[in-house]
Structures are given as structure tokens and as C-alpha cells.
Structure 1
Amino acid sequence: MSRLFYRWCSSDRSRAQLVILILIVFILGLVFVSFWNERYILVSIPKHSSKLSAELAKNFSNTDIPEYVLTYAPLVFLDKGDLFYPSDLATHVSKAHPELNHTIIKDAPKHLTLDNLNSLNGVGGDKVHLTSTENLIKLPNYLKGEAPNKKTLQTGNAISCVIALANKADGILDAFYMYFYTFNEGPTALGHRVGNHLGDWEHNMVRFKNGEPQAVWYSQHEYGQAFTYKAVHKIGRRPVSFSARGSHANYASSGSHDLHELNDAVPAHIAFDQTSQGLIWDPTLSAYYYLYSSTDNNFTPAIEGTPVNYLYFEGNWGDEEYPDDAEGQENFHNFHKWTSGPQGPMFKHLDRKDVCWPREGECIIKTAL
């Protein structure tokens, strides 16, 4: 048998046939992989979750929240290896106390809530840091948040999203879907963990024109990317966002993302965000809804009784960056293991003219992934 195969391959014609056969198999393999990846991404939404979405739309039918804001709301894939899930806003605040320059603020309310958080503006403004009452470097249990239910896709016991709508000129409405995680676990750089912090606000923004989705913004740390609505992966009509392991930066595709591409200050090929198709989360099912006015930076709750004062808090949602000599702190080429927490939704440029963050310079809306 082997001698016959050798004789067949020895002729020019037979060798050409073999090359063609290999090419055909290779192309078919690529087609199969492409088909499988698309099939993998375009999963169906569980019936229980669809029922909750229908009930939600019905509840908002007599409010100022347009139905299309729910119809085209992003769905989030959490990374398979992420240990820190979306978190309850009220729980986060209750587990913290305010500090100014690493010193407890004595004149602050004894118990912080979403309703009194803005009172801290008068005792320190944007210098105030919500500081974990428990030792943060020991990673207390409350940092883990709540994993979405596999049947409902909901963080049932955690209000972990803020949805704010900003109406603009020429029929444009920007819908901001802001995701909250109590803990940001930073990526590793050559074996060193960098960028851990308490409190983590990330977001997608979908720009609508006359009720039709035009583009999707994906926040990635202090940067981000914009794509046309047609370009991004979807489940039904809903855009897909991939949340990076630990850092929760949002990407339009799964895989490994070099942070150097976002920030030149990060050397190439040493620090990456990892995304994958883990648990699916529907942030709309456990969210507070608001209308936002850029004229006076005012948030109006869509439903009476929704807390609002916390949105005006000017301070930071986590501990202040630890000094180099503090317990647990590490300095790796001026990148610290423990950094300061971020400011909240009011500081996400809701009044932006373009789809991109203003700091991005020219706004490039990509037409392909």
C-alpha cells in the first residue's frame, strides 16, 4: 500500500492533486472554525430571562424610558476565570467609611447610604475616598459581588447597574449602561499584580438616532473603543460586551488584549486583559434608571423612590492609593499594586458630543471587529 502511495505522489499530476486536496481541507477547516465561533457567541437567551425582560419593558411602558433602550441594551459575558462579580451599590457603600488623605473624616454621617453619600462633598469634595472598613489587602468576602443566575441572567440580590439616558440634538439619545463591581483586580505584568482598587465603574454606551442604534462604545480603563452597531457581535438585537477578568474593561471580542494598545505608557507584551465567554449577565434586570440633563448635570429617576443622591457624590468609590511603605503595597516600575478608586457615573462624560470619550482625540468608529 505504501509503495502504491509513493508512486502516486511521485507524478507531477498526483502532487498537484494532493496540494489541492490539502488546500480544500484547510479551507473547510477555517469555515468550520468560523461557523463554530459564531455559533458559540450567538447563544440564545434563557426563557426565564426573556420573561423578566418582557415584564421590565411593561413596567417602563408609561415612563420616559423608550422601549428601544431595553431592546438594544448590551449583554455582558463575564470572563470564565473572574472571581469578582457585579456588586450591589448599597452594600458597597455600607462597607466603607470616608477618608481624606488617609484620615477618617469625623464629621461624616455615621452610616453611609446611597441617600446621604453626596453630603461628603462638603467635607472634601473630590478628595474624599470611600475606604473599606475591612482590611482590603486580605480580600474580604464582600468583594466577590454576585454571580448572575444562569437561568435569569440577573444579579437578583444586587443592584449592580446604572442606566442613564442623555437626550441630545438632532434626534440623538445616548444610553449609558454603567456596570458596578466592588473590586477591580488588576492584571499581572511579568508576574507582578498592578492596578488593584476598590470600586470599579465601567460602561457601554449605545448611541441612538431617531430610535435606531448607530454605534456602541466600550470603556476600557481610562480609554476605550467605538464600533458601529452593525459591526459588533449580538445576541438577537442586543450587542455583546466581553468583561475582562478582574479589571472588567469592556471589549467587543473575546481573547487576549494587550494594554499597550490602549496606553503607550504600558510596555508592549507584558500586561493583558483577558476576556472569554463565561457567565452571561443582563445588567438591565438589576438596574436603576435615570434621565440625565447635561444643562445642569441633573439626574431624574425614571421610577419614583429610586435613590439619586449618590450620583452627585464627587469623591472616589475606593481607597486612596496606598503609600509605597504600606502593608501589601508594591511598586513595579512606577506601576502600583494598590491604586485609588475611581469617581462615579457623573464623571463618565455623559454630555460628550462624539461617541468616544473626549480624551480620545479623534473619534474613530470602527466598522469591523
Structure 2
Amino acid sequence: MQRFTPRTKLLGTITVFLSLLILIYYLIISTSSTALNHSESDDLNLNFDYFKKFDVEDNELIEYLEGKGLDEGELPPLSSLPLQNHEKTLNPGEVPSYVFEYTPLVYLYTEETYLPYDISKYISHFVLKDEFNNTVTEDFTIDKMAQFTGKNSSKLLLTTLEDTNDPEWLTGESNIPNLSTGKIKDAPAVLVVVDKGNGWVDAYWFYFYSFNLGPFVMGVGPYGNHFGDWEHSLTRFYKGVPVYVWMSAHGGGNAYHYEAMEKFDRGYKRPLIFSSRGTHANYALIGRHSHDLPWGMLSDFTDKGSLWDPAENYLGYTWDGHNLSIIDSESKGQVNYTEQKIDPNWLLFKGKWGNAQLPTWDPRQQWSIFEWKYITGPTGPLTKNLSRLRLCQTKKWFNFFGDPCPPKKFLKGVNKKTGKAEEGAGVCGDLFAWVRPVQLRYLIQLFIWKGWVCTLMDWVLG
């Protein structure tokens, strides 16, 4: 039988003691962070310019964009929607030029099969059905989608005209970004700008793909495949200056301080996002990204394939918590803008953008302890909690306390030799590497994996 040495017992005791201290410290930070995110503040002076030292032509702004950072403690809180008139920064349909100046650029995976897709063309291959598989309407279009909104639409599903899991039209194989401009002519992105009050503005960029090819789990799969795939990123501005960038990944996501993000060489303004193979989950690094399960059992992969510029072709809107407005002509500027003649209320559709999960008796369906092979399609952009005050769309199962994704100050998990994100390169992965025996180390890592210790370390170490 394995016996623990006195040294191992001492290390275990120290680990438990430090964990308790860390937990107490984290709870203090979590409490203070929550206070900063209240929608109202008695001490807030709306007549004071908290960002006055930053000006568009100011040297300090340039230094900030190059990585100097800013004092977040001086910034006012965001406000809950709907805003009061005195809190508003933007008019309906107004999109400031800085939204386009700092639009993220997306690197698609080199061998990506399921490329960005035109939502109108995608919908033309579907009929609308209800939860009982009854056809609600045929000859379905994006304009017709605008007629099915509200709570009742959450029970509706887009269902393919053909009963197949791999139709010829699915890949969007011609939707490769132009080498010189990054434009995808037949696959517009979707921009939704939300005024968050007191100078804060959120710019949500949505990226639509026709199919999500799920991940392999320990070499078996893929599992979690579904028609339709909505991913998105959030750039949060204060008075025209980018402060945070968040990107979606598997229902959760990662947030970074703007200055931490890798930028495109020209102008050093536009952050780079990397879309992973098949799942299209977004990351701030190239390489391997373990998620949702410990020890690398479930991973995404990113690299520098084709570079997509969403600002070259997009559908633009503003949203105030209740009403949608098409971007006005004055906001278009010099950006190549897709002419919009469709009802913006298609965004209010709350149904599923893909087939229902295949039944268990279907020979195409397979089961694993982690996921079914074919699952139900996702919901659309306005179901992604665009009114949120925190950066994360939602919490995941391992977010035990506080903020589910505090913004990181550094791109962690980087191999200094290769510049790539690699398994075990992150702080939490290395924290207990010295613990022996390995069985004890595995137990400790399982206990803290993606939980409160890692969250705390994000707060303290960035």
C-alpha cells in the first residue's frame, strides 16, 4: 500500500491552509467586484469626465493602446437596460466609427471544412417546425422569420428540407476570405451595438457557420454536432476607447483586457481572434485549448489560416433592450456595408437554428458519457444575454464563485519558444506539478480544476 512520507503530509497541510487563505481572499475580491457592477451608484457623478486624460490624438491614449493599460478604478459602472435618457450615449441606429476601427479580425482554421455562411441562404434550405414536428411554414425565408418572434418562438426549430446530416450545400466551401481585404462576399457577419450607459458601449460581432462539427473525446467522436452555429465576440468601449474583449467558446468564453490581445500589424488597433477547427469556438491564441473536461480529454485547435475581416461585410443594428434599429446611413462611414432590406426583427426569433436532436433509435445517432453525436441547433444572437453587465454570457459548471470570467491581463498558457498555447502551460496546470505521489497530485488538480482556485489566480496573476 502506498504510504505518504512526512514531507508529503506537510505539503498537503500547507496546500489546504493556503487554499483556505486564498478562498477568503477571493471572497473579499468577489464582494468588492460585485459592488462595482451595480447598475447605480450614489457616488457616481455623471458630469465628471472619468476618462478626460484620454483623447483621440493624445499620447497617453497611444501608450494605452500599445500596452500601458488604464486605471479601471476611475471608470463609472455600467447601467442596466433600459437606460434613462441622461445615461445614454447613442441614438437608435447610431454606430460610432471607433466600433469599426477596433473590430476584431478572425483567423479561420487552415483545414476548416465548415466556413462562414450567409444566413439568408442557410434558411432557404429549411422549413419551420414546432416541438411536435409539425410544419409551421414552408418556403421559409429570413423575412418570414421576423413574423415568428416572442416567447412562443422558443419552441420552434429550423428543420432541413432533406433528411440528411451532410448535404452538399453545408460546407460553404467558396466562402474563403479575400487575401487582400479579408472580405467574405457571401457571408455577412452580424453587428449588434448596445449602449450600456455612462459612456460605455458594447459592440457584439456575431459569426455564423452552417454546421458545428463537434470535438473528439479521447480520440472518439465527433460528438455534439449540430446544424447552425452562432459564435460571437464582445468589445467593450468606454468613451471610444476599447477596454475589454470577450470571445465565446462552448457556451462560455474568455475575457481579456484590450491591451493584452494580440493585434493586427497595421495600426496596432484591431485584436486577433482565432476560430477553432469544427466547433468555431473563439480563442486569443493559436494552439491547443483544453475545455470543459480535465487533463486535455476535450480540446480545440486553432492556427493562422485565412484572415476574415467581419467589418468588410456585415448586417448592422443597435438594440436598447427592447427595440432593434438598423444602422443609419451616417454610421456606415467608409466601411463596406451590406445593403439591408430585411426586417430587423428576424433577430427576435428565439427558436433553434438547426434540426432537433436525432432520436436514439436513429442509426446515425451515437451516445457517449459526454454527449450525443447529433444534438439540437443553437438559438440566435439576441438570446446571448446582450444586456449583461459582466463580460461573460453565462456561468459554466466549474464557476463556483464570483465573476465567471474576470478579464485576464496576459495571454496565458504560452510556450515561450513556439509562441503557441499548449497543454499544461497555464498557471493552474503547473501549480501542483511538484506534488508527489502523482495520485495525490491528480486528486488536488481534480479538486481545483477550473474552479475557485483557478478563478482566483486569474484575479491575482492576470
The normalised TM-score by structure 1 is 0.76
- Number of residue equivalences: 296
For residue 230 of structure 1, give the secondary structure of its aligned residue in structure 2. Answer: helix
Matched, 1:244 2:253: no
For residue 395 of structure 2, give the secondary structure of its aligned residue in structure 1. Answer: helix
Equivalent position amino acid for 1:154 in 2: K
Going from structure 1 to structure 2, the CA distance change for 1:258 and 1:237 (only over 3 Å counts) comes to: same
| Aligned equivalent of 2:304, options 271, 277, 302 | 277
Alignment of 1:54-203 (within 5 A): 64-101=94-131, 103-105=133-135, 107-108=136-137, 110-121=138-149, 124-137=152-165, 139-145=166-172, 146-159=175-188, 161-189=189-217, 190-203=219-232
Cα drift, residue 69 of structure 1: 0.4
1:22-68 deviation per Cα after TM superposition (whole angstroms, max 9, x unaligned): xxxxxxxxxxxxxxxxxxxxxxxxxxxxxxxxxxxxxxxxx722110
**2:263 maps to what in 1?**
234
Partners of 1:329 and 1:358 in 2: CA distance: 29
The answer to whether the 8 Å contact 2:150/2:349 transfers is: no
For residue 365 of structure 1, give the secondary structure of its aligned residue in structure 2. Answer: coil
Going from structure 1 to structure 2, the CA distance change for 1:322 and 1:205 (only over 3 Å counts) comes to: same
**2:374 maps to what in 1?**
338
For residue 311 of structure 1, give the secondary structure of its aligned residue in structure 2. Answer: helix
Partners of 2:358 and 2:378 in 1: CA distance: 14
Cα drift, residue 334 of structure 1: 4.6
Going from structure 1 to structure 2, the CA distance change for 1:152 and 1:326 (only over 3 Å counts) comes to: same
The answer to whether the 8 Å contact 1:118/1:314 transfers is: no
The answer to whether the 8 Å contact 1:301/1:308 transfers is: yes
Equivalent position amino acid for 2:307 in 1: I
Instruction: Using the aligned pairs only, state the percent identity.
Output: 34
Partners of 2:131 and 2:384 in 1: CA distance: 24
Matched, 1:359 2:395: yes
The CA RMSD over aligned residues, in Å, is 1.8
Partners of 2:227 and 2:242 in 1: CA distance: 33
1:255-295 deviation per Cα after TM superposition (whole angstroms, max 9, x unaligned): 01112xxx2xx35322211100000001111210001112x
Matched, 1:368 2:395: no
Going from structure 1 to structure 2, the CA distance change for 1:153 and 1:102 (only over 3 Å counts) comes to: farther
Cα drift, residue 122 of structure 1: 7.6
**1:20 maps to what in 2?**
none
For residue 125 of structure 1, give the secondary structure of its aligned residue in structure 2. Answer: helix
Alignment of 1:299-338 (within 5 A): 299-303=324-328, 305-338=341-374
Equivalent position amino acid for 1:166 in 2: V
Partners of 2:190 and 2:379 in 1: CA distance: 14
Partners of 1:69 and 1:306 in 2: CA distance: 23
Structure 1 residue runs without a partner (length 5+): 1-62
The normalised TM-score by structure 2 is 0.62
The answer to whether the 8 Å contact 1:102/1:320 transfers is: no
